Structure 1
Amino acid sequence: MKLKEQMEEKITSKKNKIVIVVLYIFPTIIFCIFGIPKIMETYNESQNELNRDVTNIILPILFFVGVIYIITKFLDKFPVFIITKNGIEVRFFFKTKKYNWNEIEDIEIIGKKQFGNFFATPTEATTFNFKNKEEKIFWAESYTNSSEIRQVLERANKILLDSSKSFNSLNFETVTSLRTTEVIDIENQKIFNDNHVLSANGILFYAFLIFTLFIIFQNPSEIFEKYDKLLLINFFSLILCFAFSSSMNYFIFTEKHLIIKNSIWFWKKKIYDLENIKEIVIDMPFRSPICLRVITKNFNSNTYLASSLGNSTWRNLKKYIIERKIPLRDEILI
């Protein structure tokens, strides 16, 4: 178990900066490639009195400013949260709001909330329920240190629900990783897996794999002559093979462990001590196969797609998890 100590008595959420930079850079590049040349062309024509219409100057600028504004409003859905002993501070791009702990009724640490009207499935979130019925939502998957934030908020929620405790005792020390037993018990294994070859993703995987091999070996003498075209075709085929195979996980339970393996990547293995698991979630992300989300007691969360498992296997898995008295959340009511 690794501990991460906070130098100050506060913890600040961290956004994924790469995503933010890409969101702003992409429209800027488009504007530089298409917008600026059009503006310069129109300006030169107006100087030569060939064209007095400045529409082609104004429209690209308005479009660029509009796109940047929309991106900024979208990113404002994910403000910076600062947790202190006095309360929470929520920082948006152009404003900051502060709330004292006595304004908050309770905190739902784990669960799902609907994100706007654009996504077909709810998103993992932590919800602050205020006494005035207001809600503030911390979209966990949009922050790189959401597990640390949730650890501190879990302690804060316990203080909220126990009037005898004071927020002066709020601890900001966090656990970054949990120890996993190196020796795995191999007896009494319960395996939840189906024939991946007969699944939709399995059929597509082998179809693209065979197609790739066929393209390469149908005429070996032309490999070097048409290597550029073959390289492009095989590149996309391999990407599709990777996408289909990465979702073919299956699950093994032992007396003390949960083991996640992959039918194609047979060497790949992830092991969890059952005592370290806070909750298991059966979920179906947007336009994805059914998956198993494992949330550990330090709120690290990982999702494992399992496209090769049939509904009956999922139902048996759900029944088994309940029988083992492992906390389970079924988001799709399988």
Structure 2
Amino acid sequence: MEITSKRHPYKFYLTLILCNIVLTIFASFLLIKSLELNNGKYGLGTLFIFGIAISITIGFIKNASNFVLNTKGLFFKNIFYPWEDLTTVKLTGKGDMVFTTGECATLIFKDNKKIEIFDDFYSNISDIKCYIQKNVVDKNEQTEISTEKQSFIDINQEFFIPYKGNPVFSFRGIMTWGVILFFILIPFFSKKPNNSTGLTFISLISLIWFLLNSRAMYFFEISENFFIIRNHYYFWVKDIYNISDIREVVYDRQHKQPNNLRIISKDFNTKTYFAGSLTDKTWLEMKQELESKNISVRNHCIPEN
């Protein structure tokens, strides 16, 4: 049996296409200005932007090479690496690739040849990691990845400890409602008569701003057997994880976004939740509780001193 990697249609192809479209539009604008004003600086700016676009494209392709793995080894960039030459394997962890979460599998072979397989670039990353876990790490021995049915546990009988912040008076909450309040008050302080077009525009902007920020308002609940994710505003959201199915939890922050929590299940499926209302103290208290249940927590963003 062998597995062939599949590039992710959205996280690889769509991200790369959108990035190039934006850069091309910007470069075209500079090129038009250069021709209109006969200014060489705009021309240099155009070349610089196109250079960035080319560099990003090369970086994406270089870090998302297609590969094949089987029970004998890994065929990567036209080179075959046998599993017996593998010296180090880490199926979770952080790499250095920008425009992604950085989450990746790291394989180190003899002569210190390091291969990083980034999660975001492959749609079948879970199958890839499970294959390596079973056939390389465990070598067909009993593995953590189990499909056995567990005894039924009534979630309604569980006692949950909440880990949440204030959705209004936290930094993210103040930023959300402060901007919305500003937009709402504009018509009252405007000397011009209000009209339906202006009110509709303000309402639409406020709604978009609310939706953008409310996706960063998740909070968490932990019991003896379950880990639940909820949202302060999306009252219908209730993602339930069995504690025994969680391999690892990651605290992270990407590109100046709010702190987020990433759950990695034992079958290497991942999901990320932004939680902008939690304080550092609450994050660390939750980390302690998760570790007490033998769940590994990687903390990349909360100071522990």
* Pair 1:322–1:14, CA change in 2 (3 A): same
Rounded to whole Å, the distance in 1 between the matches of 2:33 and 2:177 is: 48
Deviations 1:33-77 (A, max 9, x none): 775x799x89xxxxxxxxxx9x99x97996686455323322222
- The answer to whether the 8 A contact 1:13-1:149 is kept is no
* Pair 1:175–1:29, CA change in 2 (3 A): farther
Gaps in structure 2 of 5+ consecutive residues: none
Residue 112 (str. 1) matches residue 94 (str. 2)? yes
1:172-211 aligned at under 5 Å gives the runs: 184-211=155-182
RMSD: 3.8
Percent of pairs identical after alignment?
A: 27
Aligned length: 290
| Other-structure match for 1:157 | 136
Larger Rg: 1
The structure 2 residue matched to 1:101, chosen from 76, 80, 83, is 83
- The answer to whether the 8 A contact 1:89-1:99 is kept is yes
Q: Which has the higher contact order (CA 8 A, sep 6+)?
A: 1
| Other-structure match for 1:13 | 6
| Other-structure match for 2:255 | 286
3-state DSSP class of the match of 2:155? coil
1:15-34 aligned at under 5 Å gives the runs: 15=8, 16-27=12-23
- The answer to whether the 8 A contact 2:217-2:232 is kept is yes
* AA matched with 1:106: T
- The answer to whether the 8 A contact 2:101-2:120 is kept is no
* AA matched with 1:73: I
* AA matched with 1:201: R
User: How far 1:11 moved relative to its partner?
Assistant: 2.8
User: How far 1:137 moved relative to its partner?
Assistant: 0.7
| Other-structure match for 2:234 | 265
Residue 124 (str. 1) matches residue 103 (str. 2)? yes
3-state DSSP class of the match of 1:322? helix
Rounded to whole Å, the distance in 2 between the matches of 1:327 and 1:235 is: 42
Q: Structure 1 length normalisation: TM-score?
A: 0.72
The structure 2 residue matched to 1:254, chosen from 205, 223, 227, is 223
* Pair 1:208–1:155, CA change in 2 (3 A): same
Q: Structure 2 length normalisation: TM-score?
A: 0.78
* AA matched with 2:209: L
Gaps in structure 1 of 5+ consecutive residues: 1-7, 43-52, 160-164
Rounded to whole Å, the distance in 2 between the matches of 1:292 and 1:33 is: 39
Rounded to whole Å, the distance in 2 between the matches of 1:137 and 1:97 is: 15
- The answer to whether the 8 A contact 2:218-2:231 is kept is yes
Rounded to whole Å, the distance in 2 between the matches of 1:252 and 1:60 is: 50
Rounded to whole Å, the distance in 1 between the matches of 2:300 and 2:103 is: 11
Rounded to whole Å, the distance in 2 between the matches of 1:72 and 1:20 is: 7
